[in-house]
Amino acid sequence: MSKASSAPTPSGFKLSSLFQVNTLLIFLPIALLLRAGQAGDVVIFGAAALAIIPLAGLIGTATEAVAAKLGPGLGGLINATLGNAAELIITIFALRAGLVELVKASIIGSVIGNLLFVLGLSMVMGGLKNRTQSFDRRTASMNATFVILAFMLLAIPSAFHDAIITAPDGSNRELFFSEGLALIIITLYGLYLVYTLRNPVSHETEPHHHGAMSTRTALIVLTLATLGIVLMSETLVGTVEAVGHTLGLSEFFIGIIIVPLIGNVAEHMVAVQVAYKNRMDLSLSISLGSSLQIGLFVAPILVFISLLFEKKLLLVFNAYELLALAVASVVAALVSLDGESNWLEGVVLLAVYVIFGLAFFLIPSAAPAVIH
């Protein structure tokens, strides 16, 4: 599929990059053997995490190959739906394990990771090679505006938390509020998809790399990679608490920094790669589009999926998460306004991400869960 910058969540993965990371697939059987042999949790966690990286890349490649056969409309919808499949699967297993705070942290971590780390690294690498880079202002501004909108929508339940929870049936009211908001957000995302797929504003494309993969092969790869992600996600989540205790890491830090990096490394590599090749439209489309998908699709979908488990996911975030989301959204929007980027802007974005990462690392596990 043509990867225009108007596409919501380009998830294609260049074959040259894919071959480089596919060597990490060796960690899939290693992780299973370590798990069967009851090895240390840290070792199992590391092996599962390394195995997820190429599996996520394979899902992206297979999805792109299937989408290319279906045309821009349906193909774009498939890309948008499966763009963050790896992380969605990981968070579903985390919900099943009752790690709700880790799931909420990973939602925020994915968004700020794309807006600060991925976009920042892309601007640095692209700027160092190509100096000042230009991109379509209309597309970038629209995506940045929706990113800010996503922040505002996700912040609303947290703002009303104290008032709603004081009611005799406060928990039920909060769940109903989160469900209603999730439904509205998904509807907005659907309308966003319809608009962007019917009104492309940029024609920059990434060369096709699907000749070597037929639709049948792509479907087989997609199925096997998804099964691999399921196995590795279950393995990863099963060791999270023990790993956190052993390494002195809070569940919050693992969720907001480590899990998003594991699930999105493949996509991150593509964004940086195309920026280095002076295709900033596509790079911004990946970083901003992936952020939108997390905020407007993955987060609300997880609210409904959590109804299947004992602990329900409410769209109520703590003050640290909301602060990070607000800063990342505004900064990403500001650097998109002039239609140009350089390596210094990228350094600033990376610096903000490192500062937040340091702060998150230092926050103890007993920090307040929600705004008070």
Per-residue model confidence as pLDDT tens digits over 237-295: 889 888 888 888 888 899 899 988 887 777 778 788 888 889 888 888 888 888 888 99
Instruction: Quote the distance between the C-alpha of residue 243 and its chain's center.
Output: 22
Q: Of 1-5, 59-63, 99-103, 187-191, which range is least confident?
A: 1-5
Question: For the residues 81-103, what does the mean pLDDT come to?
Answer: 86
Query: For residue 277, what are its two tokens?
Result: 């090749």
pLDDT at 3: 40
Question: For the residues 163-169, what does the mean pLDDT come to?
Answer: 87
Choose between 141 and 344: higher pLDDT. 344
pLDDT at 184: 94
pLDDT at 75: 59
Query: For residue 12, what are its two tokens?
Result: 């294609």
**To the nearest whole percent, how much of the chain has pLDDT over 70?**
85
- CA distance linking residue 204 with residue 5, whole number of Å: 7
Beta bridge partners of 340: 134
What is the model's pTM?
Answer: 0.83
Do residues 13 and 60 lie in contact, with contact meaning Cβ atoms separated by under 8 Å?
yes
- CA distance linking residue 123 with residue 117, whole number of Å: 10
pLDDT at 1: 35
pLDDT at 197: 74
Query: For residue 175, what are its two tokens?
Result: 């769940």
Do residues 70 and 219 lie in contact, with contact meaning Cβ atoms separated by under 8 Å?
no
Query: For residue 304, what are its two tokens?
Result: 């409904």
Whole-angstrom CA distances from 46 to 24, 28, 53, 332 are: 12, 11, 11, 31
Q: Tell me the angle at which helices 215-247 and 41-82 cross, rounded to the nearest 10 degrees.
A: 140
Question: For the residues 43-54, what does the mean pLDDT come to?
Answer: 90
pLDDT at 6: 41
Residue 181: pLDDT over 80: yes
Q: Tell me the angle at which helices 319-336 and 137-159 cross, rounded to the nearest 10 degrees.
A: 160
Question: For the residues 107-111, what does the mean pLDDT come to?
Answer: 93
Domains and CATH numbers, the chain: 15-362 (1.20.1420.30)
pLDDT at 8: 43
Q: 313: closest CA among 324, 302, 325?
A: 302
Q: Residue 210: pLDDT band by 50, 70, 90 thresholds?
A: very low
Q: 120: closest CA among 274, 358, 335?
A: 335
